[in-house]
Amino acid sequence: MFLSARYGSDVIVDLLQGFGIEYAALNPGATYRGLHDSIVNYGGNKPEIVTCTHEEIAVAIAHGYTKVTGKPMAAIVHDVVGLLHSSMAIYYAHIDRVPMLVLGGTGPINRSMRRPYIDWIHTALVQGNAVRDFVKWDDQPASVADFGPSFARAYRIATTEPAGPVYLCYDAGLQEGALSHPVSVTAEIEAARPTAAQADPAALTAAAERIANAERPVIVAEYTGRHPEAFRELVALAELIGAPVIDLQARLNMPARHALNFTGSEAVLKEADLVLALDMGDLSRALNRLDRTTHERQSRIAEGCAIVDIGLMELRSSKWSEDIGQFQPVDLSIVADTRLALPALRALLEKRRSSKWAERGGRLEKENAGLRSDVEKHRREKWDASPLEPARLASEVWDAIKGEDWVLTANDLEDWAWKLWDIDSPARWPGRSLGTATQIGISIGVALAHRGDGKLIVDIQPDGDLLFDPGALWTAANMRLPMLVVMYNNRAYYNDWEHQLRVA
């Protein structure tokens, strides 16, 4: 800081800088004009402002940035209307377990300070109610003295696993009011952060015994790769015990070309006598299939197959949408951060090492070679079809970029990029695409995270998704973010067509 804080909004800038927030994405609005001014004139444009044409874009950019860096970014939204505009993107950050600081303005709360009409319709009691059901926490501090404790708590809640977005709302009057005395936030900035949760040792030992005694264990993972160290531990564990891995792709959990990657294989699940489920968002979906016409549910695993579940899903309550999926009974449920649980589990299994594991791994490698041969055969089945098939497009883009240091932002062309490209680490691919109106903003956030590092950012961009937020392209151009956008032009709402055909 090169000045002493003079206004309430200066204190917010002290907090943003103290907590290492590098960027703040925003669509300018009057209720946080004090904060905007403080970022520029008090903070020296730190955090750097990322100007957007819509609040949904601002939040999506913060989403993509955090998926790459693991660090929360700020998105600032204007009063009631900006918060409502941003709500869809906040919801997807909640769905995707992404920590994020959404800041907003309201008021002035002091009614005597309000302009007629406009300030009244842009003020709500309490404004956080609009998103409370799908943020981890929200707060509207009542004094500048409350700014520090409120911000520190929000940061801790957002970043403590399972992570998610938080919303902080600041009264315009408090932002713009002159400070009557100095306000220090040093204690809040320097306070210790929560550590990760380790597994119950007895439960972890029981898990190791079950896994060691299994004849056909299978690992199923969904969010493990959000932490690079957990990604590496998962690979090491699979190699140690010779177990196939099914990657549900919320993040990259296993190198795409690894010989133990059996993603999409129904056979290994059907034959499994034990499933080790890691960081699952919806375990029932992974272990069961649903006929979309009859709605009949069929198990993908054999009766009697044991299930060991390790993750933090039990700590993530869903207050509004039922995004936790159908309840799935398991044999052993361990609440733990896999960054700590996986190395501890691997150490226990090392003590129980069996020669059978290497033999099993060798057999699986041969099976995997057959699967890859099938992929290559299917890749060329409709090579000359018109319109272009996803397999052909994935192949052509791969041939063009494979010599570069590339990053794929989200869409994987119906798994074809995942099958054909050498996606070897989470740094190459931060995870699957989400719902419509999310990808272009998230992709720009990925590009922002890689700003200046020379990587080729590749966005295979669906046309329908882009049409929701075409203004996002202005932000990419304004920030001079290099990105190869390959238009995946469906020219129709094909997903809806398929549903209509089923109904008809």
Per residue in 443-482, pLDDT (tens digit) is 999 999 999 999 999 999 999 999 999 999 999 999 999 9
Residue 208: burial class (beta carbons within 10 Å; 0-12, 13-18, 19+): buried
**How many other C-beta atoms lie within 10 A of the C-beta of residue 323?**
13
| Predicted pLDDT of residue 303 | 94
From CA 405, how far away is CA 394, in angstroms rounded?
A: 17
336 and 440 in one domain?
A: no
Instruction: Identify whether 283 is part of a domain.
Output: yes
Q: Are 222 and 370 in the same domain?
A: yes
Phi/psi-derived region of residue 249, left when phi > 0, alpha when psi is between -120 and 50, beta in every other case: left
Do 233 and 117 lie in one domain? The reply is no
Q: Are 244 and 265 in contact (CB under 8 A)?
A: yes
Whether residues 186 and 205 fall in one domain: no
Same domain? For 144 and 233 the reply is: no
pLDDT for res 3: 65
Residues 293 and 417 both lie in one domain: no
Query: Kind and range of the H or E element at 106?
Result: strand 100-106
- The half-sphere exposure of 487 on its side-chain side, counting CA atoms within 13 A, is 9
* CB atoms closer than 10 angstroms to residue 223: 26
Look at residue 271 in the predicted model and tell me its pLDDT: 96
Give me the pLDDT at residue 2, please.
46
196 inside domain: no
User: Edge to edge, what strands does the sheet with 165-171 contain?
Assistant: 48-51, 23-26, 74-77, 100-106, 165-171, 137-139
Residues in the chain with pLDDT values less than 50: 1-2
* Residues spanned by the domain of 406: 383-503
E strand or H helix at 485: strand 484-488
What pLDDT is attached to residue 166? 98
Residue 1 lies in a domain: no
How many domains does the chain contain in total?
Answer: 3
Residue 25 is part of a domain; what is its CATH number?
3.40.50.970
Are both 309 and 421 inside the same structural domain? no
Q: How far apart are CA 466 and CA 157, in angstroms?
A: 32
Q: Do residues 104 and 123 make contact, with C-beta atoms less than 8 angstroms apart?
A: no
CATH number at residue 304: 3.40.50.1220
Q: Are residues 220 and 293 in the same domain?
A: yes
Where a domain ends, among 146, 170, 190?
190
pTM over 0.85, yes/no: yes
Per the CB < 8 A criterion, the answer to whether 270 and 300 are in contact is yes
Q: Are residues 206 and 331 in the same domain?
A: yes
Whether 372 and 388 map to the same domain: the answer is no
Residue 110 lies in a domain: yes
Q: Which of 376, 392, 411 is the last residue of a domain?
A: 376
Kind plus residue range of the DSSP H or E element containing 333: strand 332-335
Look at residue 108 in the predicted model and tell me its pLDDT.
Answer: 86
Predicted local distance difference test score (pLDDT) of residue 481: 98
Using the 3D structure, point to which of 155, 190, 225 is the last residue of a domain: 190
Residue 195 lies in a domain: no
